[in-house]
Amino acid sequence: MDPVLIAQVALIVVIFHALLLSAAGMVWAERKVAARLQQRFGPVYTGPYGLLQPFADVFKLFFKEELKPSAADAALFYLAPVISAAAAFAAFCVIPVGPPTDFFGLLPHPIPLAVADVNVAVLVIFAITSMGIYGIVLAGWSSNSKYSLLGGLRSSAQMISYELSYGLALAAVLVMANTFSLQEIVKQQAGYWHLFGVPIAPRWFVFPQILGFTVYMIAGIAETNRAPFDFPEAEQELVAGYHTEYSSMSFALFFLAEYVNMVTVSAVATNLFLGGWHLQPLPEWLGFFWFAIKASAILFFYLWLRWTMPRFRYDQLMAFGWKVLLPLAVLNVLATAAGVIYFGS
């Protein structure tokens, strides 16, 4: 058989399971970080440092009864969590997690370390993540429960509002890089930014795009429904929001989707703004580790933020999205375009 084909298939399997594991790791990290920020220990009994806790949680959920409200729309009720989880996993397939490699000479030519190397990768991610919202909205509607419906409505309003800023933050980087391909964008971030001929910083897009990066991170948190923007599941007002009526593995799928979405947003931020697999001047062939370190740093920032900031008020969320974040994002795109024309990229 063709060794390249075997490598591609292996890559799909490995990345899928790495994502599953990263979601489990995130659940564990979330509980540990939350506990530490609140002067507690968090899970300690299941395995060393409570590392097996997420697996114990999943086994518990496996054996729980699958409940469905009698007035629910059955087909959509069971379809919604599947849409959520499928969109979360599918979005990751175009993200390169390391430099193209031939696995130490095993393959005749290097292959990109991404499941699918598409030349419009950034747009594909944007398209698939915008599909994930249907899972939440349909869960809210099909449950036939007032809390779920309000959660679903809130999340669609929130995602419509923040998707614009999210897309415009991406657009600024695309204007700078003059390409839609993630591989190309990462490759352009090799080397250093020079000031008067002296290298001052790695050539990452975060330095010229500091405003774009800020907008991206804020909009990304809102898109993944994390605190301080976790209105779709505001516990004090909506019980558990859109997944109030879900139990067992259907609930687990929503839970999984949320964490995989966080990993995806962090991975995209790493590739677009933080130089992807480049960590100058460390060697590039260890790229996967630099990528993982940067993505983990962003993920930690997510957790840190959640357990530090209180939730916004709903009108504040909308006012902030439309009156602050969107103008800033538009301004950033215009300034970037002007800069690219003036300096010739």
The one-letter amino acid at 7: A
Scan residues 65-84 and list those touching other proteins (CB under 8 A): 73, 76
The one-letter amino acid at 286: L
Q: Which is nearer to other proteins, 112 or 167 (CB)?
A: 167
By C-alpha distance, which of 129, 233, 116, 247 is closest to 182? 116
Scan residues 122-161 and list those touching other proteins (CB under 8 A): 123-124, 126-128, 130-131, 133-134, 137-138, 140-141, 149, 152-153, 156-157, 159-160
Q: Which is nearer to other proteins, 141 or 205 (CB)?
A: 141
CB of 91 closer than 8 Å to CB of 139: no
Joined together, the tokens standing for residue 134 give 């249907």
Helices 210-223, 287-306: axis angle to 10 degrees equals 60
Tell whether residue 307 is a contact of other proteins (CB under 8 A).
no
**Smallest gap, in angstroms, from Cβ of residue 207 to other proteins?**
26
Tell whether residue 163 is a contact of other proteins (CB under 8 A).
yes
Q: Which is nearer to other proteins, 128 or 206 (CB)?
A: 128
By C-alpha distance, which of 62, 54, 60, 63 is closest to 20? 54
**Smallest gap, in angstroms, from Cβ of residue 119 to other proteins?**
7
**Smallest gap, in angstroms, from Cβ of residue 16 to other proteins?**
22
Tell whether residue 14 is a contact of other proteins (CB under 8 A).
no
The one-letter amino acid at 95: I
Q: Which is nearer to other proteins, 46 or 119 (CB)?
A: 119
- Residue 141 CA from chain centroid, whole number: 25
The residues with which 201 forms a beta bridge, in sequence order, are 193
Tell whether residue 118 is a contact of other proteins (CB under 8 A).
yes
By C-alpha distance, which of 183, 182, 273, 167 is closest to 220? 167
Task: Report how far residue 105's alpha carbon sits from residue 51's, in angstroms, rounded to the nearest whole number.
Answer: 36
Task: Report how far residue 94's alpha carbon sits from residue 224's, in angstroms, rounded to the nearest whole number.
Answer: 19
Tell whether residue 119 is a contact of other proteins (CB under 8 A).
yes
Q: Which is nearer to other proteins, 149 or 252 (CB)?
A: 149
Tell whether residue 169 is a contact of other proteins (CB under 8 A).
no
Which of 78, 180, 288, 314 contacts other proteins by CB under 8 A? 180
Q: Which is nearer to other proteins, 50 or 152 (CB)?
A: 152
Which residues in 74-83 are b (16+ Cβ under 10 Å) and which e? eeebebbbeb
Q: Which is nearer to other proteins, 156 or 165 (CB)?
A: 156
Please give the residue ranges that form the binding site for other proteins (CB under 8 A).
Answer: 73, 76, 118-120, 123-124, 126-128, 130-131, 133-134, 137-138, 140-141, 149, 152-153, 156-157, 159-160, 163, 167, 180
